Structure 1
Amino acid sequence: MSRSRSGRAARHAERQGGAGSGASEAIWPGIEGGRYRPIPAHGIEAIHQTALRILAEVGLASATPRCIETVTTAGGSVSEAGRLMFPPELIERTLESAGRGFKLFGQRPEYDLDPSGTRIHLGTSGAAVHIVDSKTGQIRDSTLADLHDMARLAQALPNIHMFQRTVVARDIEDTHAMELNTAYACAAGTAKPIGTSFSSVATMQTAVEMFHMIAGGEQAWRERPFCCVSTCFVVPPLTFAEEALGIIECAAETGTPLKLVSAGQAGATSPAPLAGAVAQQTAEVLAGLAYVNLLNPGHPALFGALPFVSDLRTGAMSGGSAEQGVLMAACAQMAQYYGIPCAVSAGMTDSKMPDFQAGYEKGITELLSALAGANLIYEAAGMYGSLLAASKESFVLDNDMIGSVMRAARGFEINEDALAFDVIREVCLNGPGHFLGSGQTLGRMQSDYFYPELADRATPQAWADAGAPSTLEAARTRTEEILAGDASPVFGAETTAAIFLRFPEISARWG
């Protein structure tokens, strides 16, 4: 058994390219998906060609002077209507130089992620403005303390692989102070890869200076940047967000990884047919990739085509729909076509509470994304109300669900040991007629099976005899236990003191 476990550990390390350690022997960060392919083979090329036509014949509005100069110098043009046009050869050329093979770093190497191929990782994101109290049913504004709590939960829960900002600190009115404290709360709460966003270049530059202090200097940061900045650089359909172009430029200058996000809403800001929505979002992300690679060839940037779904009866976002899962799987396919690590969104239930609707909507969207081999699945823990609200105890519940999703995506191996002919023969001809005491059964308990922490698998009678315990109540208890632990910053007291001395906007909130 010892040799078997050692061999499995070695195989796991090989599969994940040396990144991270898993939550159990049955699952680990970087399990390969790719079995679900909603776009047929001929459709991939058709969407790609449509995206190229969009960029060459429609182009993007509201480009900044620097963006226009950069793109036109490389072969682009500006139409009579003032739209920036990207010819196919420019896109193809910049795709050749696009960043591939990069990792998302944690503050500690054991949390590094390898988002290559069809390796899957699940984590958080969103900008919820409310907190759901599942016990009372009340909704309140989210705070900086809530954000820090959620980062700490992500640190403690093994199946949450990265932490991007989940809620808006609505108790801080000044935007600069809010975004800087948001970055600090994420980095202080978890040593896993983090992410956030910025609305101004000045704030991002200040935050990167803080990241230098945490990393051990600018060079250390450039070698292992542990924060990926998410930028919605496009306002669909096909209009640049001018301030966000500055964020791309700042990232290129500071070595900061990017999640290039285009988040149209199918039927509203992108076409209602799913293929058209994917084509438009693909075109928009390709424009962002072209720009950042003209600024800094090979820059680490995630393919963040995120077409969301509208309920066409009401116009409301429907983040928990089956179509949402299909769209994210399709965008993963497009990213794989280009060989660029992708970021998708799943787990964005429309339910307001941890209930049956939340369970099936989270499960189906995350499973489809994982089976498609989406590299980084954001919004996978804690989110409710189509990203308008978040729940702390849901982090614990979703940690179990993510483990199950990863186990399903892993599939199983076919080899002599797994086919178990010798074991079957021994049990049937010479043994007790069952496999419960088999050495193989004992050896495979951990390697082949995932055991959720909170799921109740007792019989109905045993459950009733135990007082009919609630899984949600168990999640509340576990959440309280985690948050009652050490809340000191993961980067230590010395760095904390230096940050407080340098940044009064932070020390005023944390000092």
Structure 2
Amino acid sequence: MSDVVDMGEVCEPARARRAGGRGARVALRAAPLSEAMRPVRPGMAGGQYRPLTEAGMAQIHEGALQALEEIGLSQAPPSGVKLLTEAGAILGDDGRIRFPRALVEDMLSVAARNITLHARDPKQDLHLTGANVHFGTAGAAVHIVDPISLDYRESTAQDLYDAARLVDNLDNIHFYQRTMVCRDVTDNLEMDLNTLYGCLSGTTKHVGTSFSDPSHVAACFDMLYTVAGGEEKWLERPFVSNSNCFVVPPMKFAEESCITMEDCIRRGMPMLLLSAGQAGATSPAPIALTIVQAMAECLAGVVYANAIKKAGWEQGITNALAGLSGLNMCYEAVGMHASLLGFCLESLVLGDDLLGQAMRLVRGIDVTPDTTSIEAMKAVCLGGPGHYLGSDQTLKLMQTEYIYPNVGNRMSPKEWNEAGKPLLLDTAIARKNAILARAGSRIDPQIDAAIRAKYNIFFS
């Protein structure tokens, strides 16, 4: 059957007429999908990228065990020395704590696996198992970046809260760890309290925070209990983790951070144990040996944590191809500028699109009898239209097989010129403003009023 077209008409391409044209397809993509239909979701399994062979990983593990047994770590606090030596570590005459191989292996055998990091909204829990991948924020930027003026100004508690509100509304950012230092809060205790409350007020996703002094932990937990509805409710679903730089590379404990770690573990808070060596400076120049040192330091943390309470957990950080490698949690994935010194709210919005694409790579290619059947090819090539634009298979899969950017511009140069040459940054700013205009506090108003009456909260 062929179409009959009056010669006075302007003939449009076939794809412009199908399914109501481009506008209809855009509207279809804009409609929310059910969780099961979404092309990308938090916690999809990665692991396709394997930079290390099994033999290489075994060699690195062996090197880490050897480093712990022969070099050990120095500068543990007295409480840590007691915990570790009672667990089986050895305090040398040089003040270094050394870890017998059997001790490390025993602690690894009891360390927690298949961990769930809770969120206040259970639908946003992070299931850290296998090669499940989650992207989120982190860092301690001291500046906020204005993308229009390109100025860097000191970050505030309001900026931290605004970033949390954005993360709460960006699907491809799965958790919110403290992104900025509240430079407008000069008292360190009040800064820790405002950091924690700014994160919790902005999002119901899992939150990560830090404490600048061990003595601040108790007051921050009082606030946590208030938000959770009591200590028992907190212990049932601990929705905040502590990002803890418990070591100072190379192979030294950070005394105050260790004391903070001990207190937080006893209060039921999950711990992110960080080793952040710089290759060629605070860690060895060979990448493999840098990994050996980081492994050794983090394994020392596993022993330390499990000496306090069995089934502690550890987590490492890397950036390159993190999702494809199957890393459970990738921190500092969006928003950071100037080597972590600056943070940009618009970068969260733009980065959400990029993380969506990364998660689509993590998902991989679905190879099934349906997706490899050549029947669709036959229908198109053997007497068909010669393209797949209007095929039932294309229309069925356009939402679930592909992910579309929220702010990314996919116009052709001609369309872009005709639209007035819109800038990507302007679109990101508009989306940021729209989110912040509708995103209020995620704390119950009565609890919020009680907390503001008790603590000096710097953001509105």
Is TM-score (shorter-chain normalized) higher than 0.5? yes
Name the counterpart of 2:399: 446
1:38 equivalent among 51, 57, 72: 51
Q: Deviations over 1:342-381 (max 9, x none)?
A: xx253xxxxxxxxxxxxxxxxxx3xx11110111011111
Deviations 1:278-328 (A, max 9, x none): 1001100000110111111012x2323xxxxxxxxxxxxxxxxxxxxxxxx
The TM-score normalised by the length of structure 1 is: 0.81
- Counterpart of 1:490? 442
- Among 164, 170, 175, the alignment partner of 2:188 is 175
Classify the secondary structure of the residue corresponding to 1:416: coil
Work out whether 1:123 is the aligned partner of 2:76. no
The residue number in structure 1 matching 2:315 is: 303
What is the root-mean-square deviation in Å for CA atoms of aligned residues? 1.5
Deviation at 1:24, TM superposition (A): 6.7
The one-letter code matched in structure 1 to 2:314 is L
Structure 2 residue aligned with 1:417: 370
Distance 1:167 1:22, change over 3 A: farther
Tell me, in whole angstroms, the C-alpha distance in 1 between the residues paired with 2:385 and 2:49: 40
Alignment of 1:299-338 (within 5 A): 299=312, 301-304=313-316
In the TM superposition, what is the alpha-carbon distance from 1:40 to its structure 2 partner?
2.1
Per-residue deviation, residues 251-293 of structure 1 (Å, max 9, x unmatched): 2211100100011111110001101111001100000110111
Q: Per the alignment, in what secondary structure is the counterpart of residue 438 of structure 2? A: coil
**2-side partners of 1:491 and 1:504: how far apart?**
15
Paired residues in the alignment total 427
1:432 to 369, 382, 385: 385
- Structure 1 residue matching 2:102: 3-state secondary structure: helix
- 1:456-480 C-alpha deviation (Å, 9 max, x unpaired): 1111111112111110111111111
Q: Are 2:125 and 1:109 aligned? A: no
1:104 & 1:373 partners in 2: Cα distance? 17
1:435 alignment partner, SS class = coil
1:14-61: CA deviations, max 9, x gaps?
A: xxxxxxx85971100011111111122211011111101111111111
Distance 2:162 2:239 in 1: 19
Q: State the TM-score, normalized to the length of structure 2.
A: 0.90
Q: Could you tell me whether the CA contact under 8 Å between 1:231 and 1:244 is conserved in 2?
A: yes
Q: 1 CA distance for matches of 2:318 and 2:47?
A: 16
Residue identity matched to 2:442: V
Residues 75 and 252 of structure 2 are in contact (CA less than 8 Å); yes or no, is this contact kept in structure 1? yes
What residue in structure 1 maps to residue 432 of structure 2? 479
Identity percentage of aligned residues: 44
SS at match of 2:348: helix
Tell me which residue corresponds to 1:330. Answer: none
Amino acid of the residue matched to residue 404 of structure 1? Q
Q: Does 1:93 align with 2:93?
A: no
How far did 1:201 drift?
2.5
Alpha-carbon distance in 1 for matches of 2:282, 2:36: 39
Show structure 1 runs of 5+ residues with no match: 1-20, 305-343, 347-364
How far does residue 420 in structure 1 lie from its aligned partner after superposition? 2.8
Matched-pair contact (CA < 8 Å) for 1:22–1:158: no
Bigger RCO of structures 1 and 2 (CA < 8 A, at least 6 apart): 2
Aligned to 1:206: 219
Aligned to 2:230: 217
Q: Which has the larger radius of gyration?
A: 2
Residue of structure 1 aligned with 2:420, choices 467, 486, 492: 467
Partner Cα distance (1:474, 1:211) in 2? 36
Unaligned runs of 5+ in 2: 1-33
Q: Is residue 254 from structure 1 mapped to residue 267 from structure 2 by the alignment?
A: yes
| Contact 2:301–2:314 (CA under 8 A) maintained in structure 1 | no
Question: Following the alignment from structure 1 to structure 2, what is the Cα–Cα distance between the partners of residues 286 and 470?
Answer: 47
1:238 aligned partner: 251
Would the alpha carbon gap of residues 510 and 394 (structure 1) be closer, same or farther in structure 2, given more than 3 Å must change?
Answer: closer
Whether the 8 Å CA contact 2:160–2:179 is kept in 1: the answer is: yes
* Aligned partner (choices 42, 61, 64) of residue 48 of structure 1: 61
Contact 1:22 1:29 in 2 (8 A): no
Mapped partners of 2:368, 2:377: distance in 1 = 15
What is the match of residue 386 of structure 1?
A: 339
Supply the AA of the counterpart residue of 2:355: I
The equivalent of 2:296 in structure 1 is 283
Using a 3 Å threshold, how does the CA distance of structure 1 residues 23 and 493 change in structure 2: closer, same or farther? farther
Q: Secondary structure at the match of 1:432?
A: coil
**Paired residue type of 2:102:** E
Counterpart CA distance in 1 for 2:75 and 2:456 is 33
3-state SS of 1:386 partner: coil
